Amino acid sequence: MINLWKKEDLNLLSEYPKEVVKNVNNVINILDENYGHNRKLTDDGGYVCVIEDIKEVDYLKVNILKGLFEEFSDVIYEDCIDKYNSTLYLLSSDYSITIITKN
């Protein structure tokens, strides 16, 4: 699981398709514009979580996303082998998590 909330974090996605990195960058831009670029993971705004193992989905469902429903989901990249989705969850009025998964 990779948690990203700053532009500097994008270098952690060097192995991902550029469309995925662009989507994460767009989310971080929105969070920066609305909540500041000096945020911490726990500050208002939220973060992007890139899932790398199916077991991490179970952890999120039981712990962080317990009782929440997705607000929005979209395919952000697809080729013959891989498909990446971006799903937004609102934890409060000022805190969200965007989950990136590979199907």
Q: How far is CA 29 from the centre of its chain?
A: 13
Confidence of residue 94 (pLDDT cuts 50, 70, 90): confident
> Which residue has 């991490």 as its token pair?
56
Report pLDDT digits (tens) over 30-62: 999 999 988 888 889 999 999 988 888 888 888
In SS3 terms, the chain reads as CEEECCHHHHHHHCCCCHHHHHHHHHHHHHHHHHHCCCCCCCCCEEEEEECCCHHHHHHHHHCCCCCCCCCEEEEEEECCCCEEEEEEEEEECCEEEEEEEEC
Predicted structure pTM score:
0.89
Report pLDDT digits (tens) over 52-88: 888 888 888 888 888 888 999 999 999 999 999 999 9
